[in-house]
């Protein structure tokens, strides 16, 4: 897997080379992840203070979910849809990582204890709720909305990115019948098939990055 943090060898490239790597993550979209390519490795602290690294889950399918509890779109999905999707993924042996890239002082930002309480209150079942207050991982993945979903296979290759479904509504009553892109992709991957909808338009609130 590629890494968000420049490797030790980068020091040999000189100050300019290292600076260029840092600038590459200065804005959303600067490091767009490509389907069919290795997903960028990263390391974050979860709500309980544990350090979690993406590459720790080599050999397992991983779902990344960008989250902002204050976003109406997130709140709509957490009326049951997101929890059901998490539970179904977990039952299939998938590792679910929820990521909060909201900056301090911005909507949805949480510290560890508050994040733990929110997960418990929502009866959510991610493997970890990860905190990314500086937005390094979010920007590295060009995460634009909450929610914004990514699926990475056991070889560390990105197989899906986009919305959780095809109904960009903020209220349950506006949703109607929706195609759950995440569950559909996971099912196809488990069956050894190509993901039929590998990219979709993410929708929701913009990720509240630091200025």
What pLDDT does 90 receive?
Answer: 97
pLDDT of 1: 53
Domain range 2-206, CATH architecture:
3-Layer(aba) Sandwich (3.40)
Q: Is the pTM of this model over 0.85?
A: no
Identify the band that residue 176 occupies on the pLDDT scale cut at 50, 70 and 90.
low
Residues in the chain: 211
The yes-or-no verdict on residue 25 having pLDDT over 70 is no
- pLDDT confidence of residue 12: 37
User: How many other CB atoms are there within 10 angstroms of residue 117's CB atom?
Assistant: 12
What pLDDT is attached to residue 40?
95
Instruction: For 169-185, give one letter per residue: b (16+ CB within 10 A) or e.
Output: ebeeeebeeeebbbbbb
Q: Which residue has the higher pLDDT, 133 or 175?
A: 133
Please provide the DSSP assignment of 11-67 as one string.
Answer: GGGHHHHHHHHHHTTSSTTTT---TTSBPEE-EEEETTS-EEEGGGGTTS-EEEEE-
Question: If you average pLDDT over every residue of the chain, what do you get?
Answer: 86
Q: What would the pLDDT profile of 134-174 be if each residue is shown by its tens digit?
A: 999 999 999 999 999 999 999 999 999 999 999 887 777 66
pLDDT tens readout for residues 64-122? 999 999 999 999 999 999 999 999 999 999 999 999 999 999 999 999 999 999 999 99
Mean pLDDT of all residues in 11-26: 30
In the chain, % of residues over pLDDT 90: 78
Tokens at 103, concatenated: 């900056």
* pLDDT above 70: residue 132: yes
């Amino acid at each position: 897997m590629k890494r968000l943090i420049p490797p030790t060898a980068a020091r040999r490239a000189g100050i300019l080379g290292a600076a260029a790597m840092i600038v590459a993550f200065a804005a959303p979209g600067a490091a767009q992840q490509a389907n069919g390519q290795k997903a960028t490795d990263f390391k974050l602290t979860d709500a309980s203070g544990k350090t979690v690294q993406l590459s720790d889950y080599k050999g397992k399918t991983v779902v990344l979910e960008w989250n902002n509890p204050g976003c109406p779109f997130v709140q709509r999905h957490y009326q049951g849809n997101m929890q059901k999707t998490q539970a179904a993924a977990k039952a299939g042996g998938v590792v679910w990582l929820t990521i909060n890239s909201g900056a301090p002082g911005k909507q949805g930002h949480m510290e560890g204890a508050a994040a733990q309480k929110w997960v418990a209150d929502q009866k959510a079942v991610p493997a970890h709720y990860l905190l990314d207050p500086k937005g390094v991982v979010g920007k590295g993945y060009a995460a634009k909305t909450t929610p914004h979903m990514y699926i990475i296979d056991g070889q560390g290759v990105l197989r899906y990115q986009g919305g959780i479904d095809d109904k960009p509504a903020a209220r349950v009553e506006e949703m109607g019948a929706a195609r759950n892109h995440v569950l559909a992709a996971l099912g196809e991957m488990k069956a050894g098939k190509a993901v039929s909808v590998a990219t979709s338009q993410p929708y929701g609130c913009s990720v509240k990055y630091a200025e």
